[in-house]
Amino acid sequence: MKSFGKYISKHLAAFAVFILVLAMLNILAFGITFQNVIRNDYGDTSPQHMLEEIANASTINGISNDARQKLEKAHIWAMFLNQDGNQMWTVNAPNDVQIKYTISDVALFSKGYLKDYPVFVWNMEAGLLVLGYPKDSYTKLTSNFFSIHAIQTLPIYITGMLAVDFLLLFLAYFFSKRKIIRNTDPIIDAIERLSDGKPVSLSIEGDLSEIAGSINKASHILSRQNEARANWISGISHDIRTPLSMILGYAGRIADHKTIDTSVKEQAEIVRQQSIKIKELVQDLNLVSQLEYEMQPLHKENVRLSKLLRSYVVELLNFGLSDRYMIDVKIMSPAENTLFECDSRLILRAISNLVQNSIKHNPQGCEIMLTLACSETAITITVADNGIGLLPEKLRELEEKPHYMESTDEQLNLRHGLGILLVRQIVKAHGGTLKMESEPKQGCQTTLSFPC
């Protein structure tokens, strides 16, 4: 977990550095955007600097040629008023500018505008120097001044920079998130596979290599445990077969012996039938463990399921199905010639288990229907009966906790449901799903769905 924290911290630090760089870029963009405004308004061509320069180059009688050319180049007009308010000389003064001013006139325009021209004044011994700038070039508030161009540009600049900032932040978030997801998705998938009991092998370099190593180690341990568990079950199953075969053999001889008492024969037959059940349970237990730990190889081939279902029903009837039970097959027209790539032996085992469940749980008899249907996305096999059905808690138990290693009482009698668990494992091995529906006294229906 330390490496994961380091990984997250690294990305957060990178994001913080990105924000810092973005702030510096904003400052740089501001300087580039407003450099001309700053230079013109507060540099060599600023009103304050121009006033000083023109004042030094002018007298009450006139202005130097260099100063005149500089004014013309900057599109600035000028005039000089004597102590009486009379205009002594002008440079490019507009026609609507008057030639004589009173003290009140001077007081008004010296703080702002003259005929809508922003003006700036410089007090000299001989009079007053007035510089006039083009209309809409500056806005003046009391003694301060602001560039109208700058004021007009500033909202556009702020809006544009905010849009660019948000775009860059979103792109940084998007690519950072995509990189994190790309690096962590294999780990999450591996954890999900581990939770399903499947082995994984990760090969990740960089900050997350330590986590990948821990997951690989856990997977190795889990695989060894699963293999040991499956081998243990297989070994127990093998060890049971020999004494069980002997029990079956001796019970069969006693049951078939002509000189043995009838009651003893009946007891021997019971022993033989129960031994057969034990044998079937051991086989189911071994097959379930192999499927659960993916140790059972699937021999897949293209199978026509309609033929498989009909053959199974015919075989079941030929072996003497009790008259209390009626079984039939219903093949929907689109599914008649459908081929399904599967292990036919296991699929047949799943169907047989479901049918035997219906027979076992309905000793008074019932009708059983096998239905095969096909759509564009799935092939479904349904086994339904009209028997006594299941209680809601029993149905929930079969759906949620059908595990052969759990018991229902202190004598460790295994819970019912091993057959359903085997069906579930077979369906899962073929990439399908199982769904059970039942209500008391309204029968039971189990649907196996497989992707086309």
pLDDT single digits (tens) 356-381: 889 988 999 999 999 999 998 899 99
- Rounded distance between C-alpha atoms, residue 201 and residue 212, angstroms: 8
Q: At 251, is the pLDDT very low, low, confident or very high (cuts 50, 70, 90)?
A: confident
Max alpha carbon distance in the chain (Å)?
158
Residue spans of the domains in the chain: they are 2-42+153-185, 47-142, 209-292, 301-451
13 vs 61: which has the higher pLDDT: 61
Q: What is the b/e burial string over 360-373, where b = at least 16 CB atoms within 10 angstroms of the residue's CB? A: ebbeeebebbbbbb
What is the pLDDT averaged over residues 326-343? Answer: 91
pLDDT at 77 over 90: yes
| More confidently predicted of 74 and 331 | 331
- CA-based nearest residue to 372, from 329, 328, 424: 329
In the predicted structure, residue 242 carries a pLDDT above the cut 80: no
Distances (CA, A) of 275 to 173, 261, 306, 307, 407: 67, 21, 34, 33, 21
CA 239 to chain centre: 49
- Cβ–Cβ < 8 Å for 53, 162: no
**What's the pTM value of the predicted model, to 2 decimals?**
0.46
Quick one: average pLDDT of 222-246? 71
Q: Which alpha helices (H) appear in 43-147, and where do they start and end? A: 47-56, 65-73, 103-109
Mean pLDDT of 252-258: 81
Cα–Cα dist 439/441, whole Å: 6
Spatial separation of the C-alpha atoms in residues 369 and 445, rounded to whole Å: 9
Mean pLDDT of 15-36: 78
User: Which of 118-132, 279-293, 415-429 is the least confident region?
Assistant: 279-293
Contact between 361 and 395 (Cβ < 8 Å): no
Short-list 416, 398, 321, CA closest to 359: 321
Given the candidates 3.30.930, 1.10.287, 2.40.50, 1.10.3470, the CATH classification of the domain at 209-292 is 1.10.287
Q: Which residue has the higher pLDDT, 107 or 412?
A: 107
Q: Decide if pLDDT at 263 tops 60.
A: yes
What Cα–Cα distance (Å) separates residue 262 from each residue in 252, 256, 296?
14, 10, 44
Mean pLDDT of the chain: 81
pLDDT of the residue at 7: 61
Q: Which residues contact 124 (CB under 8 A, 6 or more apart)?
A: 55
Give the mean model confidence (pLDDT) for residues 429-445.
90
**Tell me: the pLDDT tens digits for 131-142?**
999 888 887 765
Report, as an integer, the average pLDDT of 191-209: 74
Domain 301-451 fold: Heat Shock Protein 90 (3.30.565)
